[in-house]
Structure 1
Amino acid sequence: MALLNEKPRVFLEEFRVKNAPNDYGMADEKWNFKKFAKNFRIVIVRMDNFEMEFDLIGIQPAFANAFRRLMLSEVPSMAIEKVMIRNNTSIIQDEVLAHRLGLIPLRADPRLFEYRPEGATDGTEFNTLEFALKVKCSMNKSQPKDSFRAEDLYENHSVYSSQIKWQPIGNQASVHKEADIGPVHADILVSKMRPGHELDLTLVAVKGIGRDHAKFSPVATASYRLLPEVTLTREVRGSEASLLQSCFAPGVIGLDSEGRAYVRDARYDTCSRNVFRYDEIKDAVILSRVRDHFIFSVESTGAMHPSVIFVEAVKVLRDKCKSFLDELNKFN
């Protein structure tokens, strides 16, 4: 049990959550940079173009929560801000249509653009992207005689994000590739139409942050949780082992060839504490969470790679710290 007490932990009992003995919380610990640099680690568990799971180890909750909040509300992205409607004869009201278009994630690197100055009425090639959406629904002249499906009867009866076309401003066409600008997903449904309905729109996208509007947030979600730990205090086998296995999420508890239970991977435990419902096995486990080991899950909307989003959040925090120190130095 000596090994169990090396890390700061929160223990999950049947009716309460408590800290380890002689552990009064990380907030009371004196900050030591050398100790932090020695213990801090980042471990990437999985990563693709849209999702990333990584561990922040040896860090205080305030920093972990700061990174989460920065990714949600301070890292910028490009989003449709204004919609100029020349014609909208669809059944969707103008303001609802504009709102739907604003929430479509755009593939455009915000680091290559500037913020539009407050009060500016016209955009430039350095701070604005323009798109056009011009679609008209009509009858399909070659429709099958015995079909009643909208796909066969009408042309352009569904308006998708793939029909939003980029209109380069100034020298943008030579700076940005057409494949790098536009909606992230081509199959987002914008509107349903019938013959006689028409959309003729100009869309203006600018750089912004999620603190101003959720459409500018580069992540669909960013969350973290403490690393779970499951420790068996005695041997559990047979029917008790099967019962113990059923109390945890799949993959947490395994059974060996002799029917004995063992901890396969506590990382995926949801900390439901179902094991405390059964008197015969509730004394066989100790449930805890490591207080300085955070499992982060970041899901990008597609504008930026999730790893880039986290790095940008770190840069934002760095700049905020510099600004704070500069303000303090003014009083010296």
Structure 2
Amino acid sequence: MAPTPESKKYNPRLHVGLLEERVTNVSSTDFPGHYPDEDHSWDLTKFKKRLQVKIQKLSARSIEFDLVGVDASIANALRRILIAEVPTIAIEYVYVWNNTSVMVDEVFSHRLGMIPLNVDPALLEMKENSSDQATDRNTIVFKLQIECTRNNSAPRDSTDSAVLYINSEVLAAHLQWVPQGEQAEVFAARPPAPTIPEIVLIKLRPGQAIEMEMHAVKGLGKEHAKFSPVATASYRLLPHIILDDANPVPSHLADRFRDCFSPRVINVDPRTKKVSVDKRGVRGETMSREVLRHPDLAKFVKLARVRDHFIFNVESEGPYEPQRLPLEAIRVMREKISVLKSAAEALRALGDPEGDIQMADT
């Protein structure tokens, strides 16, 4: 039986080794034919037993969770789907009626497109083609009409543009939603608006004005970054620091040894100077490998990462709550697997007209 992540010994099947200048045992080996007399064919029961998903941190904008018991290809597929294939709503078409600011229409339109909106994509349909007619079921309309003027009541000695002028800054909050068709009822609980009203879009001075109409549609991040539902979506392997009980760190080197790691990773008993690894704090280790630069310290430790333990960090800036994002990514992944299964069944049917070959359930 493979050792648990808490194993005190380095195991090439479970761990990726970190040396001073390189890493070792990067590729997974749990597939049929790699080890003699061992059956590593995929088994649903074993997979369910190993699979774990644990939420470690959750806030209004971000989530950190552990995904344990899967191959790196699965973890990376989840990351890529989060970035590029979970749909969102963003401004796609900008109709400029008047723009006397210092920013040209094209640049300002691009800035408008990057504003994250709070519109739930489930409430809108995807436009199949750019030529499709805009309707209340596939398009959200915003307008921006603003002009900068002087503040006649401003103090004479003031130098603050926010005091001297009215509407000196155009903010995302200045976008006004214009309901179409039945949208007033559909979006009554949560009217469409930017998720961050304080975003500064442009600065104006007296005599400058902007009048525009914007159409927001449903899209995917693989089409344009503005449709990506996440600010960041990344993962890293769980750090694993292995101390040799038979060769403990000497007391006079304990403090130096601790300082080679991130804070709260290594504990040093103030009385005995015994060194130990904080199992909770090790998650924050950056794996700088500083300890390996010192020959008198490197011999007391082995550095590794747990091969099938992924720490995901996901930040949401769009309409999705952070805890909903992984579920949306899994939904997209299931749809892709279903398409692949159907294609494989069709291919098998061509070579098996009587249908004797059956596809395994996914």
Is the TM value for this pair above 0.5?
yes
Deviation sequence 1:6-42 (CA, Å, 0-9, x none): 761111122332239xx96245653222111111010
In the comparison of the two structures, how many residue pairs are matched? Answer: 329
Q: Give the corresponding residue for 1:327.
A: 343
Contact 1:26/1:60 (8 A) holds in 2: no
TM-score, length of structure 1 as denominator length: 0.94
TM-score w.r.t. the length of structure 2 is: 0.87
Give me the CA root mean square deviation: 1.8
1:276 deviates by 1.1
**Which residue in 1 is equivalent to 2:14?**
8
Aligned to 1:301: 317
Q: Deviations over 1:86-105 (max 9, x none)?
A: 00000000000000000010
In structure 2, give the amino acid aligned to 1:262. S
Q: CA 1:196 to 1:24, structure 2 compared with 1: closer, same or farther past 3 Å?
A: closer
In the alignment, which of 254, 262, 280 is matched to residue 249 of structure 1?
Answer: 262
Equivalent residue number for residue 287 of structure 1 = 303
Identity level (%): 40
Closer, same or farther in 2 for the Cα pair 1:123/1:228, shift >3 Å?
same
1:132-181: CA deviations, max 9, x gaps? 11110001011112212212211001000011111111111111136442
Correspondence for 2:326 among 293, 310, 314: 310
Aligned to 1:62: 73
Letter of the structure 2 residue corresponding to residue 253 of structure 1: I
1:122 partner letter: Q
In 2, Cα distance between equivalents of 1:91 and 1:139: 18
* 1:220 partnered with 2:204: no
Listed as ranges, the matches of 1:121-140 within 5 Å are: 121-140=132-151
Asked whether the equivalents of residues 91 and 216 of structure 2 are also in contact (C-alpha less than 8 Å), the reply is: yes
The Cα of 1:217 is off from its aligned counterpart by 0.3
Report 1:86-97 matches (<5 A): 86-97=97-108
Secondary structure in structure 2 of the residue aligned to 1:96 = helix
Aligned to 1:158: 169
1:48 to 48, 55, 59: 59
Which amino acid is 2:332 matched to? Answer: V
Question: 1:329 offset after TM fit, Å?
Answer: 2.1
Asked whether the 8 Å contact 2:10–2:242 carries over to 1, the reply is no
Higher normalized strand content (fraction of residues): 1
User: Structure 1: which 5+ residue stretches go unaligned?
Assistant: none
